[in-house]
Structure 1
Amino acid sequence: MKESSGNKLIANNKKAYYDYFIDEKYEAGLVLHGTEVKSLRQGKCSIKEAYIQIINGEVFVINMNITPYEKGNIFNKDPLRPKKLLLHQSEINKLEGQTSQKGFTIVPLQVYLSKGRVKMEIGLARGKKLYDKRDSIAKKDQQREALKDFKVRNLG
């Protein structure tokens, strides 16, 4: 569950890599409330259906599901409420300019803890066509077969 850089991975969006070409990646902080952070530390988060929008010059992640903290009772917030992302203004302007072009979108890639803070990696992405998806499946199969052959040759 731990990455080599000392970050603890909470949620990963593998579907984003399947559906999109990721051109650029950004690290953004998340504006959260106390019980949401406690729930995230327990690993209760899903970003599979989440997407990112820029509203009035601010970046929000929509449909990110943080399961309510069991011991939080009245302090728990709505699990699907829009959460604000913290980015530099220059990064927001760049993302806004790129997403205004046809075919570009912003997708959440992963949520992790870095030095006690909850961070989200977001990516500027272009949608894949069906034949691109078939290509990536074929490449993955080739790599899997090559790895299997390599193991068989070295063990036998």
Structure 2
Amino acid sequence: MAKERGEKVVATNRRARHDYTIESTYEAGIVLSGTEVKSLRQGRASLVDGYAFVDAGEAWLDAVHIPEYTEGTWNNHAPRRKRKLLLHKQEIVKIGQKTKEGGFTIVPLKIYFSDGRAKVEIAVAKGKREYDKRQTLRERTATREAQAAMSARKHLGE
């Protein structure tokens, strides 16, 4: 079988960008069992309630739902278990200091395969207040309307 190339996105957490202000992002490997990898390859995962944390110098991903592999046997994995994240020590220390600072949390943004290896993109983020969310929506709407007006004007001139 040929080696996989490129990036194949399995699941994204679109809600995270709405609820949080992203400070910085990191790519981390995930320690998975065989049936979890097979389930991910089928494109089945949910990051909705997922979060990450640093404990005793190790990074962990929790509450991410990877459903049981349908063709699996009695040794199938638990759908919502803690999974270890593979990061460099300096990154773990930096992330841990940020979260201890207060107000910051670690949220998963997407799970994907990069050259055949399962990866997760995590972000150090700060929660948005309700008025921040409304402001972001207002800015996005204004930008979209401006683009539409410029596009319409461009088409009229032709």
TM-score normalised per structure 1: 0.91
**Larger Rg, first or second structure (1 or 2):** 2
Identity of counterpart residues, as a percentage? 45
* 1:96-135 alignment, distance < 5 Å: 96-135=96-135
Give deviations 1:28-70, integer Å, cap 9, x for gaps.
0000011110110111000011011112211111110001111
C-alpha deviation, 1:146, in angstroms: 2.8
Amino acid corresponding to residue 108 of structure 1 in structure 2: P
SS in 2 for 1:24: strand
1:78 equivalent in structure 2: 78
Structure 1 unaligned spans of 5+ = none
C-alpha deviation, 1:99, in angstroms: 0.6
* 1:1-150 alignment, distance < 5 Å: 6-150=6-150
Amino acid corresponding to residue 45 of structure 1 in structure 2: A
C-alpha deviation, 1:151, in angstroms: 4.3
TM-score normalised per structure 2: 0.89
Q: 1 CA distance for matches of 2:73 and 2:79?
A: 13
Give deviations 1:71-121, integer Å, cap 9, x for gaps.
012231100011110011111111111111121111111111001000000
Structure 2 unaligned spans of 5+ = none
Q: 1 CA distance for matches of 2:49 and 2:155?
A: 42
Q: 2 CA distance for matches of 1:67 and 1:109?
A: 18
SS in 1 for 2:16: helix
Amino acid corresponding to residue 93 of structure 2 in structure 1: N
SS in 2 for 1:74: coil
- Once the two structures are overlaid, the 10-residue window that deviates more, 67-76 or 44-53, is 67-76
C-alpha deviation, 1:149, in angstroms: 3.1
C-alpha deviation, 1:153, in angstroms: 3.8
